[in-house]
């Protein structure tokens, strides 16, 4: 099932939408959880890929979701997959009735359906193997004559003076690695909920149509999505855990009463027991407060002294948490009912040629100001023009198929316009920091 099909099934019938699906080139990275040197099972490699989705309606962006996928290779065909939901947000500039919950679930279903080997076909290594290939580097300390001799040597060896030229044998054969693993793979989903007025859409909280969830509402909203995925797409016996730092376990269980999946428990999927050292059980994700606290413990020389239970207690006392709001960690760990086998096509994802280009496209959304509708329109126009002029591509267009019943006075689900799952501070910036608009001179 394509991404177009999944989104069409949850968007309102006969309404036209566009979507942007970006993905970075997979790259080798550090292990998600710091390994204990005494562990017998040690990860050989960890591959990280970033996805960024945006939805548009009537030439306005209104929803974005950021997800990281980690493939950890343990041995011969043995691997696991971790889906980290980083950020999600809407800005309130969509005038039609939409269930953002269903849209988010559809996007996660798309991620879960991808064959893990798709991420392993073309992997960028952590370090370029210059020494192995006997490549001399140009340094600021070198003389002009030495630099010219180095460039001449590259031209003779690779047919190019550049080490990242697409025509060079270095780039094609040696720069990227490839691996394989079993498609029957242990899958984990992890997210961190903390309410905020905006993350991906700066100043969107100034839009009075944007509905902002408080901590408990956000926890329940994401809980309902994971619970639905557990029931529909995961095998029996899958772990499902909820942790609210500093909260009494009996109170945490109150949030689990309404769950359909029967095996929800208090805790998190990474902590083997509360006495284990936090450094060997807490995952390190991008822009993550847990990771920042781990780094602080390292600076204080306390990494080998703080247990997991102490870690969660002290985490609650950090400045980021002292706002009397409900925050939580949710996790799922198990096997999906269907073996992930989808290989995304160019219609499903756009893979920019570099991380720099990925960030540039993403910034056309995250670099706008959404205090007025103009920001949502500018983001659409800038990305459309970038895709056409720079990549010779365009938005994927779809038509919704879901029939919505008349609005109930009690059902506010379609009004959810703000879902944030990290604890970053809202980005403050001036218009001068936004990505510059593209000159639109071609005929539409």
Q: Among residues 123, 121, 101, which one has the least CA distance to residue 10?
A: 101
What is the separation, in whole angstroms, between the first and last Cα of the chain? 32
Tokens of 412: 């506010």
- Can you count the helices (H) and strands (E) in the chain? 10, 10
Tokens of 198: 């905006």
Residue with tokens 């001799």, as numbered in its chain: 149
Give Cα separations from 144 to 40, 73, 107, 137, 164 (angstroms).
51, 44, 52, 13, 22
DSSP run (H or E) holding 370: none
Q: What is the DSSP letter of 427?
A: P
For helices 100-113 and 215-233, give the axis angle rounded to 10 degrees: 40
**Which is the catalytic residue, given 288, 301, 371, 385?**
288
Told to judge if 288 belongs to the known catalytic residues of this protein, a careful annotator would answer yes
Query: What DSSP string describes 235-290?
Result: -TT-EEEEE-TT--HHHHHHTTTT-SSTTEEES-TT-S-TTSBGGGTSB--TT-HH
Residues designated as active site: 288
């Amino acid at each position: 099932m394509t991404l177009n099909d999944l989104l069409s099934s949850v968007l309102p019938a006969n309404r036209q939408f566009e979507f942007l699906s970006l993905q970075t080139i997979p790259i080798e990275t550090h292990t998600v959880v710091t390994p204990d040197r005494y562990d017998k099972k040690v990860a050989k490699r960890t591959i990280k890929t970033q996805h960024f989705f945006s939805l548009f309606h009537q030439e306005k962006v209104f929803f974005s979701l950021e997800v990281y996928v980690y493939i950890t290779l343990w041995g011969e065909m043995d691997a696991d997959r971790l889906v980290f939901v980083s950020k999600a947000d809407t800005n309130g500039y969509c005038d039609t009735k939409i269930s953002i919950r269903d849209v988010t679930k559809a996007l996660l279903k798309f991620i879960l359906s991808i064959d893990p080997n798709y991420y392993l076909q073309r992997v960028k290594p952590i370090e370029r193997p210059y020494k192995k290939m006997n490549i001399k580097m140009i340094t600021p300390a070198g003389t002009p004559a030495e630099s010219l001799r180095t460039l001449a040597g590259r031209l003779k060896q690779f047919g190019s003076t550049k080490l990242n030229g697409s025509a060079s044998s270095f780039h094609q054969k040696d720069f990227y690695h490839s691996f394989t693993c079993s498609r029957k793979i242990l899958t984990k989903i992890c997210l961190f909920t903390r309410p905020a007025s905006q993350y991906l859409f700066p100043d969107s909280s100034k839009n009075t149509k944007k509905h902002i969830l408080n901590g408990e509402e956000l926890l329940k909203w994401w809980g309902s999505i994971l619970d639905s995925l557990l029931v529909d797409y995961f095998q029996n016996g899958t772990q499902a855990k909820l942790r609210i730092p500093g909260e009494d376990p009996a109170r945490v269980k109150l949030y689990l009463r309404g769950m359909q999946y029967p095996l929800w428990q208090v805790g998190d999927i990474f902590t083997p027991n509360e006495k284990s050292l936090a450094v060997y059980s807490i995952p390190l994700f991008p822009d993550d407060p847990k990771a920042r606290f781990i780094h602080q413990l390292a600076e204080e020389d306390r990494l080998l002294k703080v247990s997991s239970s102490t870690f969660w207690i002290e985490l609650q006392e950090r400045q980021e948490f002292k706002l009397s709001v409900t925050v939580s960690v949710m996790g799922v760990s198990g096997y999906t009912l269907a073996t992930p086998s989808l290989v995304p096509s160019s219609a499903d994802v756009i893979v920019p040629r570099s991380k720099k280009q990925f960030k540039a496209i993403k910034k056309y959304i995250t670099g706008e100001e959404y205090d007025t509708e103009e920001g949502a329109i500018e983001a659409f126009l800038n990305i459309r023009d970038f895709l056409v002029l720079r990549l010779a591509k365009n938005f994927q267009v779809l038509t919704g198929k879901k029939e919505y019943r008349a609005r109930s006075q009690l059902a506010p689900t379609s009004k959810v316009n703000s879902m944030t799952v990290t604890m970053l501070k809202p980005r403050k910036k001036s218009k001068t920091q936004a990505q510059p608009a593209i000159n639109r001179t071609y005929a539409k």
